[in-house]
Structure 1
Amino acid sequence: MSPAAVMAVGEPQSQPAQGDARVQPSAMEPKARLYRRMALDMACTAALGLAVLLVNVLARPYRRGFFCDDDSIGYPYKARVQVSDTVVAVVGLLLPPLVVLATEATRRGWSARGDAELLGWRPPLWLCRLYCVAGVFVVGAAFSQLVVDSAKYLVGRLRPHFLDVCQPTHVCSGHEYVVDYTCSGPDAAVIEEARLSFPSGHAALSFYAAVFTVMYLQAEVTWTGSLVLKHSLQAALVILAWYTALSRVTDHMHHWSDVLAGGCIGSLAAVLAVVFMSDLSGRRRTRGGQELTALLSKPSSVYVPAARAEHALP
């Protein structure tokens, strides 16, 4: 059964009555739907980013007490850490899209264009794929960060260097649990940050980026020139994330359980993004992986993915 016949399944084929002013679906209708979809996707992504921003600007960490003999929060504060916030943000958010860009441009070429038109412009195929894959990556990263930041402020776990930066005025004795205390440390911002230990944001972002990129390479890179090159790159990404996570423990920024939780959150977010939001797992793949191009080039207002049309699925 042809794709055209599949698209017609279940739809009445009645002819318009004499004098009926209605017109047949035009080739512009699938484009209009795509524009609406892109606008909605961008609006949702912006809303997620705004939610993350509001949590960090408006929320205040839960004020947790501490035991006087708790050695796990008595480590010295390190002003310089091995992996800074800027480094993990830049590498974690830019490396995966750059890998996608390099892979798609190598596979399809910089100048190859499909039949699709977007506002009168025919975008190159690599740009279509970059939009689809990197867009999913950004949305998944925003979800992961929102979960991490919300947990940080709700739990308010004290960092390993809390006592060093807080310098509480309360005179401790034995196993006393102190709730009513005042911090005499000079830097209020560092003291507030010392209440945001669980979970580790560095571990979450680094493992999210690593797992997402590993799954992308596994699905899209099919070069047979080497048996180990692709897997070596995948291993390097995981090791880089592992190093970032461990550095947070050795720098006295997190407890080991904070890092474990952050890594699990990031890894789970990456798996969910790839499986349920992208076409990398094959669940939503169209011919050639070009969902954007396929939708734009369909002449009918009824869009049926090629994978479903080939199997005569409604």
Structure 2
Amino acid sequence: MSAGYAGRDCVSHMATQETEIKSSASIIPCFLFVELVLMAGTVILSYHFEYTDTFPVHSQGFFCFDSTLSKPYPGPESTSRVPPRLLYPLITVLPVLTILLGEVSAVFINPHWRRKEKIISCGDCCFFNPLLRRVVRILGLFSFGLFCTVIFAGAVQTVTGNQTPHFLSVCRPNYTALGCASHIQYVSTPYACTGDPVLITEARKTFPSKPAALGAYAAVYTTMYVTLVLKIKGSRLVKPSLCLALLSPSWLLCLLRVAEYRNHWRDVLAGTVVGSAIAVFLVTCVLNNFGSSNSEEKELQQKEEDEVPVPENLHPPTREKVMELHPAMSPDPPPCLVPVTPDVLIPSNCMTSQV
């Protein structure tokens, strides 16, 4: 009878824990006046770096007849083998679909998911579902990181003004007028180029590579999500294969940027480091590894293991091994010493000793 009552109490406690509602009056004001303002600021700033000349690019000089800057002009970005119309959907749609599928699957696969997430109520009318809150938090931070990557890469490009491998092909300097007589002569005048000013400005923004930074950010963010959140049982190769499939487009993009003479190898390396660092920082320091730290699951598993009863009809050696594995479930408390007289201590079964 006592076991039946204990089982019903445990079930009722779990049901109460699953339907627990947490009240919060600051979630909507914080979202409207803090998070949306920060997101709007990053979007506006990234737009100015990407599509306007609000921040002038540093005019860096060059050496006469520099072979590292004399590669042929590969054409506009739209003629690349990875044009913007393919790059931007790839770095946005693929991570979003992966995260959505992972979160929806976790609701049906993970039995302890509802214990870690609570319904948030803001007043009497607004209730935020745990799944919706988690998806908005992960995807919202992913979008914020994308714009931060654009801002950081654009700011470094504006400050440094490093040239692309095809810079001299679009600059078209007049070496005779500049008095170039040797390869070690440095030209620092801002009026050395005679080509199209728009192409010259774009050719001065190569370090770090912005496409490489965006591709690395999206790939690392999605790979960390797959590694930390998705639980795939029965196969040890599914998760590594999926991670390699997500990372491969980023590596291929870096190789194509160098092969098409749009960036130097150091530019794509720096862009990869920038994008990866931003993704790792947001996932580890802001999202706390997507809330998938296994401390709660380990505590819950330890509780379930501790609650396993030890049968009384086991052989003594087997029972001793079970008691060693589950010391907290020992039916008899350990003996302790209770002072009976000032000079005599006798063993007694008790939970604490009072002096």
| TM-score between both structures, scaled by the size of structure 1 | 0.75
1:246 to 237, 255, 264: 255
Query: Which residue in 2 is equivalent to 1:173?
Result: 181
Which residue matches 1:48? Answer: 42
* 132, 137, 155: which one aligns with 1:132: 137
2:105 is the counterpart of 1:97: no
> Which residue of the other structure, out of 159, 162, 166, is the alignment partner of 2:167?
162
> Bigger CA drift: 114-123 or 38-47?
114-123
Residue 226 (structure 1) shift: 2.4
Seen in structure 2, the aligned counterparts of structure 1 residues 136 and 285 have a Cα distance that, compared at 3 Å, is: farther
- 1:198 is matched with 207
Q: Which residue of 2 aligns with 1:269?
A: 278
Would you say 1:88 and 2:87 are equivalent positions? yes
Compare relative contact order (CA 8 Å, sep 6+) and give the higher one, 1 or 2: 1
Q: Which one has the largest radius of gyration?
A: 2
Aligned to 1:141: 146
What are the equivalent positions in structure 2 for 1:57-96 lying under 5 Å apart? 57=52, 58-79=54-75, 80-96=79-95
* TM-score computed with the length of structure 2 as normaliser: 0.67
Q: Distance in 2 between matches of 1:247 and 1:230?
A: 27
Provide the rounded CA distance (Å) in 1 between the counterparts of 2:240 and 2:293.
25
Structure 2: distance between partners of 1:121 and 1:236: 40
**Superposition deviation, residue 242 in structure 1:** 0.7
CA distance in 2, matches of 1:29, 1:204: 39
Q: Which moved more, 1:274-283 or 1:34-43?
A: 274-283
1:174 is displaced (CA, Å) by 1.1
Specify the code of the residue in structure 2 equivalent to 1:184: T
Flag structure 2 segments of 5+ consecutive residues without an equivalent.
Answer: 1-20, 109-113, 298-355
Deviation at 1:53, TM superposition (A): 2.0
Between the aligned partners of 2:90 and 2:122, the Cα distance in structure 1 is 31
Change (3 A) 1:285 1:154: farther
Q: How many residue pairs end up in the alignment?
A: 259
Contact 1:169 1:183 in 2 (8 A): yes
- Counterpart of 2:17? none
Q: CA deviation at 1:37?
A: 2.1
Change (3 A) 1:283 1:102: closer
| Structure 2 contact 64–187 (Cα < 8 Å) conserved | yes
Where is the strand percentage greater, Structure 1 or Structure 2? 2
Deviations along 1:103-161, one digit per CA (max 9) or x if unpaired, are 1112226xx99744568355554332210111111222222221110000100001001
Percent of matched pairs sharing the same residue: 30
Aligned equivalents of 1:118, 1:206: Cα separation in 2: 38
CA distance in 1, matches of 2:130, 2:295: 14
What letter is aligned with 1:141? L
Output one character per residue of 1:178-206: Cα deviation in whole Å (capped at 9) or x when no partner: 12244332x43222100101110011111
RMSD: 2.7
How far residue 283 of structure 1 moved from its aligned partner, in angstroms, is 8.5
Work out the CA distance in 2 between the residues paired with 1:281 and 1:45.
20
The aligned amino acid for 2:35 is D
Separation (CA, whole Å) in 2 of partners of 1:264 and 1:118: 40
